[in-house]
Structures are given as C-alpha cells and as structure tokens.
Structure 1
Amino acid sequence: MGLSDAELDAVRAIDATDGPGGADDDLGAFFGDTERARPVREVRVEPFLIARHPLTVAQVRHWLPEYEDDFAESDHTAARLQDEVDDLLAALPFRLPSEAEWEYAARAGTTGLTFRGDGKPDEEEILDDFADEARTAAAENAFGLAAMGSSNEVCADVWIPHFTGAPADARPRTGEGPRTVRGGAGDLSPWQGCDEWLLLLSATRAEFDLFTAVRPVVPVPAAPDGALPGAGT
C-alpha cells in the first residue's frame, strides 16, 4: 500500500515525455505532496465485499428520499454528497471502506499507477454515469469494480497526511477531524490540463473538503459451518 519509488519514477517518465511547455509540465505540487501516500507498507486485508460503483443519486434517494444533488446530471450519476454524508451513513446498512480496503480494491492485484498500468491516464478512463452498461463494464478492473478513481470517494479513516504508524491489518485510523478521500479525477471533468489525471492513481489520497461519493462495503457472510463461501473467488 502506498506510492512506491517505481510509481514515482513512472510519473517522472510521463512528465519527461510531456516535455517543456506541455499542459502537464509542472508536477512540483504533486512531488511536494508525495509523503501523503508514503511510506509504502505491507497490509493484510481480510475478505470483504465492495460496491461495483459509487452509489448513484437514485440509490442514495432510497435511503434519503429528499436528497438533491446540484452536481448530478441524472439519477444514474454518482451522488456527490456534502452535508448529507453522516445522514446517509446513519441510514445505510453498510459501512465505508478503510483506506487500505479502497486501495486494495483499486489496484486489483496490480502495482502500477492505475489498474491499467503505468501509462498516463486520459479522460476516456473516467466514468460518472452508470446507465450505459457497456461503458461501465469497460471501466472495470480485474475485480469487476468500475470507475475506481473517477469520483471523490470517502473512506472510514480520519485524515492523517502520511502512513507513519498506520495499522498493518487494514483497520481504519480513527480520531477527530475530516475523513480521507480517494480518487476524484471525474469530478474535475472536463480536464483543464492541470494534472487532474493524477487523481486516478491508485495511491492518491487527500483530505475530504467539499463533496464526496460513497462506495459502500459489507463483510463477506460466513457459511453455516464458519467457512467463507466462494473461497478463492
């Protein structure tokens, strides 16, 4: 878990390829904040179930019937909650992923910048509206999860600007203050050439500020004999 030296080298290679004067010429802010996603560490993640995509506006209204979304273009769009986050979490029969669970899900067994590898992502990789099943399926990673990194997604962890002292068993870090969010490249679409693609990186993390999507998690139900059903899947 975390932003590795190899991933940093991959970003440097992309920056060099863009060349002087390119739209993404200055990555100084990104490199200045790399300690937010370091040190790289090994984390044990127990089995869990996570939603295929963030909750849509229509899904949020199942629990919050009066919910209105100024950012959504349709009921099939990922809901971007502001002051309603705590109300939704109180109503949901689910929980938020820990940061470790979210990153494990985003990477889907890969170790590159995104689940697609170390190449520079483009705006075609972001997804917000899930009405088009074919496009949603095309945006899935190896775990069958769509649009990881597209929306700003809130995690259970309180925001701490590094991983120093973080637990090794994927528990969320708790305490006072704002939560941590992951992703957000789609929230800035259409891109203005200000390095928005960096928000698609599996390791990119930030402090919850204005609005967020929710991708709920539940534990894997135990079989009657205590064994996990579908072991190996």
Structure 2
Amino acid sequence: MWAEEMVAGRPAWRHVASGVVFREVPGGTFRMGLSEAELEAVRAIERAGGVEDTIESFLAGAGDAQPVREVRVEPFLIARHPLTVAQVRHWLPDYEDDYADADSTVARLEDDLDDLLEALPFRLPSEAEWEYAARAGTTTLTFRGDGKPGEVDLLDDFADEQRTAATENAFGLAAIGSASEVCADAWIPGFAGAPADARPRPGDSPRTVRGGAADLYPWQGCDEWLLLLSAVRYEHTQFTAVRPVANR
C-alpha cells in the first residue's frame, strides 16, 4: 500500500494505488490560534501601507480563532499538497471539475465532497492537525515569518516540481494556505472549551475551512493574503480542497 521514497530531498510515503505523496508530521505541542503578537504583526503591515483595502472585518473576526491555547498533537501522515483532479479521479472516475483545467491542478469539490470522503481510505485533518502542520514549528503569521505573504506563495498546479518544492514548509508540505482546505471539525466560532488534544470538534454545523488565498486569484486588492495566515479559519460554504491524513 505504501512506498517509502525521497521527494524533493525529504522522506515521503507514497500511496501506491493513487500516487498521493504523504509527509510524516512529528508529534508535539503548539500554541493554536491567532495570538496578540500575530494581530500586532497584521497591524504593522497596515501601518507600513501594506493593506490594499481594509482589515477591519479581519480584526473584528479575530475572536473566531481565539483564545490561543496549547494543544498536543500525535504524529500523523498528511498529504504533501491538496488532492489534484487526477488523484480524486482515482476514487471518483467520473469526477468533473469546473474550476480546474489540468489533472495536476487542485480539485475543488462541491457536490462530490461527501462521495470522495466516503471513498477515501484516509480521513480529514482536524483543525489542530492542520494548523500544527501549517505552522511547522513557527509562531508567526505564516511559516515564512511575520511579513506580508504575496502571490509568489500561491500554488494551484503541481506539474512543476521545482515550483512545488519552493512552497514547502519545514515539514515538507506544499501550498499551505493556497486552497480552501476542509477540516474534520464542525464550525464553532472561537476555541472556548476546545480540547487540549487534536481531536476534531463535532457538531451539526458545516465543516471548518482553512486557507483559500489562491481560490480568489487573480487578487483584486481585497487583502486576500490574509487567507494565507496559519491561524485563519472560517465556515465552509462552497467548493473546497482535500488534504487527507493517515495514521502510521
């Protein structure tokens, strides 16, 4: 089922049947959520003239990713990047994607999402697992630091291996924050009462989504870069990408 190999100079595990490449994320603890230091970093970008439109709505919604708390995460495997159209078709041969024009492009699922999740031999990441993997040991706005991320950080098509490798974080994960990636947790505003481990929070509401900056490309100057931030979260409403998780 699995083949261990080197991908972009790092160990990886390929799911042989589908070709999906997974990275192993080590266990550990981290501070999950949007910290006051990160909020100050966003305000600093605004003061420096780096905000095109307004960040008022972002700041008003900061409580949805607070309070910051320490979370314990067990080791897990997560896909190097969101599933592509070709990879989704391994499980859903009749899958069609109105948003992608190449097999190597991220699949954005709407009505097919539940069918894919039922067919996958994997699971969705919890929010804690996703953010832990995205941060890759950092405490800054993105894994690159507190500077304003730009369109160079976006990646939607993984045909170019050199370009894909250039977007990897310290855990070897590519395109973090680019696509709207669905998590296992139900949408619950804020982290009050959330568990101290990486279990997903259940509920009847739509799932939580992370990332999504590339889904708004070409950027129209509405501060879409905020969707690249590690702590940003919102309620699932439309098409989403899937970055599956497996336990070793």
* TM-score over 0.5 (shorter chain): yes
Alignment-derived partner of residue 40 in structure 1 = 68
Alignment-derived partner of residue 240 in structure 2 = 212
1:150-170 Cα deviation digits (max 9, x unpaired)? 000000000001111001111
Q: Does residue 120 of structure 1 match 2:142?
A: no
Q: Distance in 2 between matches of 1:59 and 1:101?
A: 22
Q: How does 1:77-226 map onto structure 2 within 5 Å?
A: 77-220=105-248
Q: Distance in 1 between matches of 2:194 and 2:52?
A: 36
Q: Distance in 2 between matches of 1:98 and 1:86?
A: 16
Q: Does residue 23 of structure 1 match 2:47?
A: no
Q: Displacement, 1:83? A: 1.1
Q: Which has more strand, going by share of residues? A: 2
Alignment-derived partner of residue 58 in structure 1 = 86
Identity across matched positions, percent: 75
Q: Distance in 2 between matches of 1:73 and 1:187?
A: 14
Where does structure 2 lack aligned partners over 5 or more consecutive residues?
1-31
Q: Does residue 8 of structure 1 match 2:39?
A: yes
Q: Distance in 2 between matches of 1:178 and 1:84?
A: 15
Q: Distance in 1 between matches of 2:111 and 2:186?
A: 17
1:125-147 Cα deviation digits (max 9, x unpaired)? 01000000000000000000000
Q: Displacement, 1:73? A: 2.1
Q: How many residues align?
A: 217
1:186-206 Cα deviation digits (max 9, x unpaired)? 000110110100000000000
What amino acid is the match of 1:105?
A: A
What amino acid is the match of 1:56?
A: T
SS in 2 for 1:42: strand
RMSD: 0.8
What amino acid is the match of 2:44?
A: A
Q: Distance in 2 between matches of 1:140 and 1:205?
A: 21
Alignment-derived partner of residue 223 in structure 1 = none
Q: Distance in 1 between matches of 2:111 and 2:142?
A: 30
Q: Displacement, 1:175? A: 1.4
Q: Distance in 1 between matches of 2:219 and 2:161?
A: 24
Residue of 86, 95, 98 corresponding to 1:70: 98
Where does structure 1 lack aligned partners over 5 or more consecutive residues?
221-233
Q: Distance in 1 between matches of 2:47 and 2:111?
A: 41
